Structure 1
Amino acid sequence: MTILVITGTGTEVGKTITTAAVAATAFAAGRSVAVLKPAQTGVRPDERGDADEVARLAGAVTTLELARYPEPLAPATAARRSGLAPVRPHEVADAAAKLATEHDLVLVEGAGGLLVRFDDEGGTLADAARLLAAPVLVVASAGLGTLNTTELTARELRFRGLDFAGVLIGGWPNEPDLASRCNLADLPVVAGAPLLGAVPEGVGALDPADFRAGAPSWLAPRLGGSWDAATHNARCTP
Protein backbone atom coordinates (compact mmCIF):
# COMPACT_ATOMS: atom_id res chain seq x y z
CA MET A 1 0.00 0.00 0.00
CA THR A 2 1.12 3.58 -0.66
CA ILE A 3 -1.32 5.45 1.58
CA LEU A 4 -2.75 4.10 4.83
CA VAL A 5 -5.38 5.96 6.83
CA ILE A 6 -5.19 5.30 10.57
CA THR A 7 -8.25 5.97 12.70
CA GLY A 8 -9.44 4.84 16.11
CA THR A 9 -12.58 3.69 17.83
CA GLY A 10 -12.26 6.85 19.96
CA THR A 11 -9.69 9.00 21.67
CA GLU A 12 -6.72 7.72 23.67
CA VAL A 13 -6.68 4.29 22.03
CA GLY A 14 -3.07 4.47 20.82
CA LYS A 15 -3.32 5.88 17.29
CA THR A 16 -0.13 7.93 17.49
CA ILE A 17 2.01 5.13 18.92
CA THR A 18 0.54 2.74 16.36
CA THR A 19 1.35 5.21 13.59
CA ALA A 20 4.91 5.42 14.92
CA ALA A 21 5.21 1.62 14.96
CA VAL A 22 4.01 1.32 11.35
CA ALA A 23 6.35 4.15 10.31
CA ALA A 24 9.34 2.66 12.14
CA THR A 25 8.77 -0.77 10.60
CA ALA A 26 8.47 0.63 7.09
CA PHE A 27 11.50 2.87 7.54
CA ALA A 28 13.59 -0.04 8.81
CA ALA A 29 12.62 -1.96 5.67
CA GLY A 30 14.10 0.81 3.53
CA ARG A 31 10.90 2.63 2.62
CA SER A 32 10.59 6.40 2.68
CA VAL A 33 7.74 7.42 4.97
CA ALA A 34 5.62 10.53 5.44
CA VAL A 35 3.14 11.15 8.26
CA LEU A 36 0.22 13.50 7.69
CA LYS A 37 -1.75 14.87 10.65
CA PRO A 38 -4.68 16.76 9.13
CA ALA A 39 -5.77 18.52 12.32
CA GLN A 40 -3.84 18.71 15.58
CA THR A 41 -5.90 19.93 18.53
CA GLY A 42 -5.07 20.77 22.12
CA VAL A 43 -1.49 21.78 21.39
CA ARG A 44 0.07 25.25 21.47
CA PRO A 45 2.25 26.45 18.56
CA ASP A 46 5.43 25.86 20.59
CA GLU A 47 4.48 22.31 21.69
CA ARG A 48 5.22 19.02 19.99
CA GLY A 49 2.25 17.43 18.23
CA ASP A 50 1.40 13.86 17.32
CA ALA A 51 3.38 13.95 14.07
CA ASP A 52 6.44 15.16 15.97
CA GLU A 53 6.06 12.26 18.39
CA VAL A 54 5.90 9.79 15.50
CA ALA A 55 9.12 11.23 14.07
CA ARG A 56 10.85 11.08 17.46
CA LEU A 57 10.05 7.39 17.84
CA ALA A 58 10.21 6.20 14.24
CA GLY A 59 13.21 8.06 12.84
CA ALA A 60 13.75 10.19 9.76
CA VAL A 61 10.18 10.44 8.49
CA THR A 62 8.61 13.44 6.80
CA THR A 63 5.85 15.07 8.86
CA LEU A 64 3.11 17.48 7.87
CA GLU A 65 0.32 19.17 9.82
CA LEU A 66 -2.41 20.94 7.90
CA ALA A 67 -3.89 22.80 10.88
CA ARG A 68 -3.31 23.25 14.59
CA TYR A 69 -5.87 24.42 17.12
CA PRO A 70 -5.14 25.24 20.78
CA GLU A 71 -8.17 23.70 22.49
CA PRO A 72 -8.52 19.90 22.98
CA LEU A 73 -11.77 19.56 21.05
CA ALA A 74 -13.04 17.98 17.86
CA PRO A 75 -11.33 19.74 14.93
CA ALA A 76 -14.50 21.44 13.65
CA THR A 77 -15.32 22.80 17.12
CA ALA A 78 -11.73 23.80 17.81
CA ALA A 79 -11.49 25.62 14.47
CA ARG A 80 -14.76 27.46 15.04
CA ARG A 81 -13.82 28.56 18.56
CA SER A 82 -10.33 29.68 17.53
CA GLY A 83 -11.49 31.62 14.49
CA LEU A 84 -9.06 29.64 12.34
CA ALA A 85 -9.92 27.97 9.05
CA PRO A 86 -11.08 24.36 9.24
CA VAL A 87 -9.52 21.50 7.35
CA ARG A 88 -11.54 20.09 4.46
CA PRO A 89 -11.45 16.43 3.37
CA HIS A 90 -10.29 17.37 -0.13
CA GLU A 91 -7.34 19.25 1.40
CA VAL A 92 -6.38 16.13 3.33
CA ALA A 93 -6.65 13.99 0.21
CA ASP A 94 -4.66 16.48 -1.90
CA ALA A 95 -1.87 16.69 0.70
CA ALA A 96 -1.67 12.89 1.08
CA ALA A 97 -1.63 12.38 -2.68
CA LYS A 98 1.20 14.89 -3.08
CA LEU A 99 3.24 13.22 -0.33
CA ALA A 100 2.66 9.87 -2.05
CA THR A 101 4.44 11.11 -5.16
CA GLU A 102 7.56 11.65 -3.04
CA HIS A 103 7.40 8.78 -0.53
CA ASP A 104 6.88 5.02 -0.55
CA LEU A 105 4.35 5.15 2.29
CA VAL A 106 2.08 7.92 3.58
CA LEU A 107 0.34 7.48 6.94
CA VAL A 108 -2.67 9.72 7.57
CA GLU A 109 -3.45 9.85 11.28
CA GLY A 110 -6.93 11.08 12.15
CA ALA A 111 -8.20 12.80 15.28
CA GLY A 112 -10.41 10.72 17.53
CA GLY A 113 -12.67 8.37 15.60
CA LEU A 114 -13.67 7.89 11.99
CA LEU A 115 -16.58 10.37 12.02
CA VAL A 116 -15.05 13.19 14.07
CA ARG A 117 -15.82 16.32 12.08
CA PHE A 118 -13.17 18.44 10.42
CA ASP A 119 -15.57 21.22 9.45
CA ASP A 120 -19.10 22.46 10.07
CA GLU A 121 -20.28 20.87 6.82
CA GLY A 122 -19.66 17.42 8.29
CA GLY A 123 -16.44 16.51 6.50
CA THR A 124 -14.60 13.63 8.16
CA LEU A 125 -11.58 11.38 7.86
CA ALA A 126 -13.88 8.84 6.21
CA ASP A 127 -14.51 11.35 3.42
CA ALA A 128 -10.77 11.85 2.93
CA ALA A 129 -10.22 8.07 2.82
CA ARG A 130 -12.92 7.78 0.15
CA LEU A 131 -11.30 10.48 -1.96
CA LEU A 132 -7.96 8.70 -1.66
CA ALA A 133 -9.41 5.19 -2.15
CA ALA A 134 -6.99 4.24 0.65
CA PRO A 135 -7.25 1.36 3.13
CA VAL A 136 -8.22 2.22 6.69
CA LEU A 137 -6.59 0.69 9.77
CA VAL A 138 -8.73 0.86 12.93
CA VAL A 139 -6.94 1.13 16.27
CA ALA A 140 -9.00 -0.25 19.14
CA SER A 141 -8.56 -0.58 22.87
CA ALA A 142 -8.09 -4.00 24.43
CA GLY A 143 -10.64 -4.19 27.23
CA LEU A 144 -14.31 -4.10 28.07
CA GLY A 145 -16.41 -2.01 25.68
CA THR A 146 -14.14 -2.30 22.68
CA LEU A 147 -16.33 -4.81 20.83
CA ASN A 148 -19.20 -2.35 20.49
CA THR A 149 -17.12 0.61 19.31
CA THR A 150 -15.11 -1.57 16.94
CA GLU A 151 -18.20 -3.10 15.34
CA LEU A 152 -19.83 0.31 14.92
CA THR A 153 -16.71 1.63 13.20
CA ALA A 154 -16.50 -1.46 10.99
CA ARG A 155 -20.13 -1.11 9.95
CA GLU A 156 -19.62 2.53 9.01
CA LEU A 157 -16.57 1.69 6.92
CA ARG A 158 -18.52 -0.91 4.99
CA PHE A 159 -21.58 1.32 4.64
CA ARG A 160 -19.33 3.90 2.97
CA GLY A 161 -17.66 1.30 0.77
CA LEU A 162 -14.21 1.93 2.24
CA ASP A 163 -11.32 -0.53 2.22
CA PHE A 164 -11.12 -1.87 5.78
CA ALA A 165 -7.57 -3.12 6.27
CA GLY A 166 -8.09 -4.55 9.74
CA VAL A 167 -8.00 -3.88 13.47
CA LEU A 168 -4.99 -3.33 15.70
CA ILE A 169 -5.00 -3.18 19.49
CA GLY A 170 -3.32 0.07 20.40
CA GLY A 171 -2.40 -0.66 24.01
CA TRP A 172 -2.10 -4.33 24.90
CA PRO A 173 -1.89 -4.52 28.73
CA ASN A 174 1.09 -6.03 30.47
CA GLU A 175 -1.35 -8.01 32.62
CA PRO A 176 -4.46 -8.54 30.46
CA ASP A 177 -7.74 -9.14 32.24
CA LEU A 178 -10.37 -11.67 31.20
CA ALA A 179 -12.16 -9.25 28.85
CA SER A 180 -8.94 -8.35 27.05
CA ARG A 181 -7.97 -11.99 26.59
CA CYS A 182 -11.41 -12.88 25.25
CA ASN A 183 -11.38 -9.87 22.93
CA LEU A 184 -8.38 -11.29 21.07
CA ALA A 185 -10.74 -13.84 19.53
CA ASP A 186 -13.86 -11.66 19.43
CA LEU A 187 -12.47 -8.48 17.85
CA PRO A 188 -11.86 -9.91 14.36
CA VAL A 189 -15.29 -11.57 14.49
CA VAL A 190 -17.26 -8.41 15.26
CA ALA A 191 -15.09 -6.38 12.88
CA GLY A 192 -15.26 -8.90 10.06
CA ALA A 193 -11.61 -8.10 9.44
CA PRO A 194 -8.26 -9.47 10.59
CA LEU A 195 -6.45 -8.52 13.76
CA LEU A 196 -3.23 -6.93 12.53
CA GLY A 197 -1.25 -6.56 15.71
CA ALA A 198 -1.10 -5.56 19.34
CA VAL A 199 1.11 -2.69 20.46
CA PRO A 200 2.09 -3.14 24.12
CA GLU A 201 1.03 -0.41 26.49
CA GLY A 202 3.77 1.98 27.59
CA VAL A 203 6.09 1.51 24.61
CA GLY A 204 5.88 5.21 23.79
CA ALA A 205 8.15 5.76 26.79
CA LEU A 206 10.89 3.54 25.34
CA ASP A 207 14.14 4.93 24.04
CA PRO A 208 13.59 5.48 20.29
CA ALA A 209 16.19 2.86 19.38
CA ASP A 210 14.39 0.25 21.50
CA PHE A 211 11.03 1.31 20.08
CA ARG A 212 12.27 0.86 16.51
CA ALA A 213 13.77 -2.53 17.34
CA GLY A 214 10.52 -3.76 18.86
CA ALA A 215 8.02 -2.29 16.40
CA PRO A 216 8.03 -5.10 13.79
CA SER A 217 7.13 -7.66 16.46
CA TRP A 218 3.93 -5.74 17.26
CA LEU A 219 2.59 -5.68 13.69
CA ALA A 220 1.25 -8.40 11.41
CA PRO A 221 2.95 -9.15 8.07
CA ARG A 222 0.46 -6.99 6.14
CA LEU A 223 1.92 -4.03 8.03
CA GLY A 224 5.46 -5.21 7.46
CA GLY A 225 5.96 -6.96 10.79
CA SER A 226 6.18 -10.47 12.18
CA TRP A 227 3.33 -10.51 14.74
CA ASP A 228 1.17 -13.63 14.54
CA ALA A 229 -2.34 -13.63 15.99
CA ALA A 230 -2.40 -17.35 16.79
CA THR A 231 0.90 -17.22 18.66
CA HIS A 232 -0.11 -14.10 20.57
CA ASN A 233 -3.51 -15.57 21.49
CA ALA A 234 -1.99 -18.81 22.70
CA ARG A 235 0.49 -16.95 24.86
CA CYS A 236 -2.09 -14.63 26.41
CA THR A 237 -5.11 -16.90 26.80
CA PRO A 238 -4.98 -19.47 29.61
Structure 2
Amino acid sequence: MANYFWVVGTDTDVGKTIATTILMRYFQTKGEVLPYKPVQTGLIEEGGLTYYGDTQFYRSFSEMELDEQNINSYSFKEPASPHYAARLEGATIDEKRILQHIERLKSQYDYVICEGAGGLYVPLDEKRNYYFHHLIKETQMPVVLVTRTTLGTINHTLLTIEALRAKGIPIAGIVCNAFEGTELEVDNVTTIRQATGLPLILIPKLENTADLKEIQLEGADEFFERLRSL
Protein backbone atom coordinates (compact mmCIF):
# COMPACT_ATOMS: atom_id res chain seq x y z
CA MET A 1 0.00 0.00 0.00
CA ALA A 2 1.04 3.58 -0.60
CA ASN A 3 1.45 4.33 3.09
CA TYR A 4 2.38 7.94 2.43
CA PHE A 5 0.15 10.18 0.35
CA TRP A 6 -1.30 13.65 -0.14
CA VAL A 7 -4.84 14.89 0.35
CA VAL A 8 -5.36 17.80 -2.04
CA GLY A 9 -8.45 19.73 -3.09
CA THR A 10 -9.94 21.29 -6.17
CA ASP A 11 -10.25 24.51 -4.19
CA THR A 12 -10.13 25.98 -0.69
CA ASP A 13 -12.75 24.93 1.89
CA VAL A 14 -13.63 21.84 -0.13
CA GLY A 15 -13.20 19.47 2.82
CA LYS A 16 -9.54 18.42 2.78
CA THR A 17 -9.26 18.50 6.56
CA ILE A 18 -12.42 16.42 7.02
CA ALA A 19 -11.15 13.88 4.48
CA THR A 20 -7.69 13.82 6.07
CA THR A 21 -9.21 13.23 9.50
CA ILE A 22 -11.48 10.43 8.29
CA LEU A 23 -8.56 8.74 6.54
CA MET A 24 -6.45 9.23 9.68
CA ARG A 25 -9.08 7.42 11.76
CA TYR A 26 -9.33 4.62 9.18
CA PHE A 27 -5.59 3.96 9.18
CA GLN A 28 -5.31 4.27 12.95
CA THR A 29 -6.94 0.84 13.08
CA LYS A 30 -3.95 -0.49 11.12
CA GLY A 31 -0.88 1.23 12.60
CA GLU A 32 0.81 4.43 13.68
CA VAL A 33 -0.58 7.34 11.65
CA LEU A 34 0.34 11.00 11.42
CA PRO A 35 -1.67 13.68 9.62
CA TYR A 36 0.71 16.42 8.49
CA LYS A 37 -0.17 19.96 7.38
CA PRO A 38 3.04 21.48 5.96
CA VAL A 39 1.66 25.02 5.85
CA GLN A 40 -1.36 26.26 7.75
CA THR A 41 -2.77 29.77 7.91
CA GLY A 42 -5.45 31.51 9.93
CA LEU A 43 -4.87 31.72 13.67
CA ILE A 44 -8.14 31.39 15.61
CA GLU A 45 -8.68 33.24 18.88
CA GLU A 46 -11.56 31.90 20.91
CA GLY A 47 -12.38 31.99 24.61
CA GLY A 48 -8.89 33.10 25.52
CA LEU A 49 -7.34 30.29 23.50
CA THR A 50 -5.45 30.47 20.22
CA TYR A 51 -5.14 27.61 17.76
CA TYR A 52 -5.05 26.67 14.09
CA GLY A 53 -8.21 25.01 12.84
CA ASP A 54 -6.83 22.19 10.71
CA THR A 55 -4.32 20.70 13.13
CA GLN A 56 -6.70 21.21 16.05
CA PHE A 57 -9.31 19.26 14.09
CA TYR A 58 -6.88 16.35 13.70
CA ARG A 59 -6.22 16.30 17.43
CA SER A 60 -9.91 16.49 18.31
CA PHE A 61 -10.74 13.29 16.43
CA SER A 62 -7.53 11.29 16.70
CA GLU A 63 -7.71 7.98 18.56
CA MET A 64 -4.16 8.56 19.77
CA GLU A 65 -2.16 11.57 20.92
CA LEU A 66 -0.54 13.49 18.08
CA ASP A 67 2.89 15.06 18.45
CA GLU A 68 2.33 18.79 17.90
CA GLN A 69 5.90 19.26 16.66
CA ASN A 70 5.36 16.69 13.92
CA ILE A 71 2.02 17.72 12.44
CA ASN A 72 3.08 21.07 10.97
CA SER A 73 6.11 22.96 9.62
CA TYR A 74 4.83 26.49 8.96
CA SER A 75 2.00 28.40 10.65
CA PHE A 76 0.97 31.95 9.76
CA LYS A 77 -1.65 34.11 11.43
CA GLU A 78 -3.40 35.58 8.38
CA PRO A 79 -6.11 33.34 6.81
CA ALA A 80 -4.72 33.68 3.30
CA SER A 81 -2.69 31.96 0.61
CA PRO A 82 0.56 30.64 2.14
CA HIS A 83 2.85 32.93 0.16
CA TYR A 84 0.92 36.04 1.19
CA ALA A 85 0.46 35.01 4.82
CA ALA A 86 4.20 34.31 5.02
CA ARG A 87 5.09 37.64 3.41
CA LEU A 88 3.00 39.53 6.00
CA GLU A 89 5.25 38.05 8.70
CA GLY A 90 8.48 38.67 6.80
CA ALA A 91 8.93 34.95 6.26
CA THR A 92 9.50 32.65 3.31
CA ILE A 93 8.56 29.01 2.85
CA ASP A 94 11.48 26.67 2.21
CA GLU A 95 10.31 23.48 0.51
CA LYS A 96 13.52 21.70 1.56
CA ARG A 97 12.46 22.03 5.19
CA ILE A 98 9.09 20.46 4.32
CA LEU A 99 10.64 17.66 2.28
CA GLN A 100 13.06 16.82 5.09
CA HIS A 101 10.17 16.86 7.57
CA ILE A 102 8.19 14.41 5.43
CA GLU A 103 11.15 12.04 5.10
CA ARG A 104 11.63 12.10 8.86
CA LEU A 105 7.94 11.32 9.43
CA LYS A 106 8.08 8.41 6.97
CA SER A 107 10.82 6.86 9.11
CA GLN A 108 8.71 7.25 12.27
CA TYR A 109 5.16 6.32 11.24
CA ASP A 110 3.44 3.51 9.37
CA TYR A 111 1.20 5.99 7.55
CA VAL A 112 1.68 9.70 6.82
CA ILE A 113 -1.18 11.75 5.34
CA CYS A 114 -0.05 15.13 4.03
CA GLU A 115 -2.75 17.75 3.60
CA GLY A 116 -2.33 20.44 0.97
CA ALA A 117 -3.48 24.05 1.06
CA GLY A 118 -6.16 25.27 -1.32
CA GLY A 119 -5.64 23.79 -4.79
CA LEU A 120 -2.67 22.65 -6.85
CA TYR A 121 -1.72 26.15 -7.98
CA VAL A 122 -1.60 27.78 -4.57
CA PRO A 123 1.76 29.63 -4.44
CA LEU A 124 4.30 28.76 -1.79
CA ASP A 125 6.87 31.20 -3.15
CA GLU A 126 5.58 33.56 -5.82
CA LYS A 127 9.03 35.02 -6.52
CA ARG A 128 10.22 31.65 -7.80
CA ASN A 129 6.83 30.61 -9.22
CA TYR A 130 6.90 27.65 -6.85
CA TYR A 131 3.42 26.17 -6.37
CA PHE A 132 1.98 23.40 -4.26
CA HIS A 133 2.02 20.97 -7.18
CA HIS A 134 5.81 21.38 -7.37
CA LEU A 135 6.11 20.26 -3.74
CA ILE A 136 3.79 17.29 -4.30
CA LYS A 137 5.79 16.21 -7.34
CA GLU A 138 9.06 16.36 -5.42
CA THR A 139 7.75 14.01 -2.72
CA GLN A 140 6.90 11.34 -5.32
CA MET A 141 3.79 10.48 -3.32
CA PRO A 142 0.31 9.78 -4.75
CA VAL A 143 -2.68 12.07 -4.31
CA VAL A 144 -6.18 11.66 -2.95
CA LEU A 145 -8.30 14.40 -4.52
CA VAL A 146 -11.11 16.00 -2.51
CA THR A 147 -13.91 17.68 -4.41
CA ARG A 148 -17.43 19.01 -3.91
CA THR A 149 -20.61 17.33 -5.15
CA THR A 150 -22.47 20.53 -6.02
CA LEU A 151 -22.81 22.57 -9.21
CA GLY A 152 -19.45 23.28 -10.83
CA THR A 153 -17.66 20.26 -9.42
CA ILE A 154 -17.38 18.41 -12.74
CA ASN A 155 -15.33 21.17 -14.31
CA HIS A 156 -13.12 21.76 -11.25
CA THR A 157 -12.53 18.05 -10.71
CA LEU A 158 -11.68 17.18 -14.31
CA LEU A 159 -9.35 20.16 -14.66
CA THR A 160 -7.49 19.12 -11.50
CA ILE A 161 -7.27 15.50 -12.65
CA GLU A 162 -5.93 16.64 -16.02
CA ALA A 163 -3.30 18.80 -14.31
CA LEU A 164 -2.19 15.96 -12.01
CA ARG A 165 -1.88 13.52 -14.89
CA ALA A 166 0.00 16.02 -17.05
CA LYS A 167 2.52 16.45 -14.24
CA GLY A 168 2.93 12.71 -13.75
CA ILE A 169 1.50 12.72 -10.23
CA PRO A 170 -0.26 9.41 -9.44
CA ILE A 171 -3.87 9.65 -8.26
CA ALA A 172 -5.21 7.14 -5.76
CA GLY A 173 -8.83 8.23 -6.04
CA ILE A 174 -11.41 10.93 -5.42
CA VAL A 175 -13.26 11.87 -2.24
CA CYS A 176 -16.55 13.69 -2.85
CA ASN A 177 -17.35 15.66 0.28
CA ALA A 178 -20.65 16.89 1.77
CA PHE A 179 -22.86 14.60 -0.34
CA GLU A 180 -26.60 15.07 0.30
CA GLY A 181 -27.98 12.68 -2.30
CA THR A 182 -29.79 15.11 -4.61
CA GLU A 183 -30.37 14.13 -8.24
CA LEU A 184 -27.86 16.76 -9.35
CA GLU A 185 -25.19 15.44 -6.99
CA VAL A 186 -25.79 11.83 -8.03
CA ASP A 187 -25.37 12.81 -11.68
CA ASN A 188 -22.23 14.86 -10.88
CA VAL A 189 -20.63 11.94 -9.06
CA THR A 190 -21.58 9.46 -11.81
CA THR A 191 -20.18 11.76 -14.48
CA ILE A 192 -16.90 12.25 -12.58
CA ARG A 193 -16.53 8.52 -12.00
CA GLN A 194 -17.14 7.71 -15.67
CA ALA A 195 -14.90 10.50 -16.97
CA THR A 196 -11.91 9.70 -14.75
CA GLY A 197 -12.14 5.94 -14.25
CA LEU A 198 -10.97 6.49 -10.67
CA PRO A 199 -12.40 4.93 -7.51
CA LEU A 200 -14.50 7.34 -5.53
CA ILE A 201 -15.55 7.72 -1.91
CA LEU A 202 -18.61 9.67 -0.79
CA ILE A 203 -18.55 11.57 2.49
CA PRO A 204 -22.03 12.63 3.57
CA LYS A 205 -22.70 16.20 4.62
CA LEU A 206 -22.12 16.47 8.36
CA GLU A 207 -24.83 18.20 10.36
CA ASN A 208 -22.49 18.07 13.34
CA THR A 209 -18.75 17.48 13.21
CA ALA A 210 -19.11 14.88 15.97
CA ASP A 211 -20.93 12.72 13.38
CA LEU A 212 -17.55 12.23 11.70
CA LYS A 213 -16.90 9.34 14.07
CA GLU A 214 -19.89 7.43 12.69
CA ILE A 215 -19.18 7.80 8.97
CA GLN A 216 -19.34 4.66 6.85
CA LEU A 217 -17.36 5.24 3.66
CA GLU A 218 -19.31 4.18 0.57
CA GLY A 219 -16.95 2.91 -2.12
CA ALA A 220 -14.06 2.45 0.31
CA ASP A 221 -13.14 -1.09 -0.78
CA GLU A 222 -12.30 -0.16 -4.38
CA PHE A 223 -10.63 3.04 -3.22
CA PHE A 224 -8.25 1.37 -0.79
CA GLU A 225 -7.55 -1.47 -3.21
CA ARG A 226 -6.14 1.09 -5.66
CA LEU A 227 -4.19 2.82 -2.89
CA ARG A 228 -2.60 -0.54 -2.03
CA SER A 229 -1.44 -0.90 -5.63
CA LEU A 230 0.42 2.44 -5.81
TM-score, length of structure 1 as denominator length = 0.83
Query: Would the aligned equivalents of 1:16 and 1:50 in 2 still touch at CA under 8 Å?
Result: yes
Gap regions ≥5 residues in structure 1: 226-238
SS class of match (2:188) = helix
Distance 1:77 1:191, change over 3 A: farther
2:194 to 169, 189, 192: 189
Residues in 1 aligned to 2:208 and 2:72: alpha-carbon distance in whole angstroms: 21
Distance 1:90 1:218, change over 3 A: farther
Q: Which residue of 2 aligns with 1:230?
A: none
Q: Which residue of 2 aligns with 1:81?
A: 88
Q: Does 1:110 align with 2:99?
A: no
Query: Would the aligned equivalents of 1:216 and 1:224 in 2 still touch at CA under 8 Å?
Result: no
Q: CA deviation at 1:80?
A: 1.0
Q: Which residue of 2 aligns with 1:229?
A: none
Query: Would the aligned equivalents of 2:193 and 2:199 in 1 still touch at CA under 8 Å?
Result: yes
Q: CA deviation at 1:219?
A: 6.0
SS class of match (1:73) = coil
Q: CA deviation at 1:112?
A: 0.7
Residues in 2 aligned to 1:145 and 1:22: alpha-carbon distance in whole angstroms: 25
TM-score, length of structure 2 as denominator length = 0.85
Residues in 1 aligned to 2:157 and 2:94: alpha-carbon distance in whole angstroms: 25
Residues in 1 aligned to 2:195 and 2:8: alpha-carbon distance in whole angstroms: 17
Q: Which residue of 2 aligns with 1:92?
A: 98
Gap regions ≥5 residues in structure 2: 226-230
Aligned residue-pair number: 216
Q: CA deviation at 1:11?
A: 1.1
Residues in 1 aligned to 2:92 and 2:161: alpha-carbon distance in whole angstroms: 26
Q: Which residue of 1 aligns with 2:228?
A: none
Residues in 1 aligned to 2:95 and 2:197: alpha-carbon distance in whole angstroms: 26
Alignment identity in percent? 27
Q: Which residue of 1 aligns with 2:30?
A: 30
Q: Which residue of 1 aligns with 2:202?
A: 198
Residues in 2 aligned to 1:122 and 1:221: alpha-carbon distance in whole angstroms: 38
Q: Which residue of 2 aligns with 1:129?
A: 136
Distance 1:49 1:90, change over 3 A: same
Residues in 2 aligned to 1:93 and 1:204: alpha-carbon distance in whole angstroms: 35
1:68 to 59, 75, 85: 75
SS class of match (1:101) = helix
Letter in 2 for 1:184: V
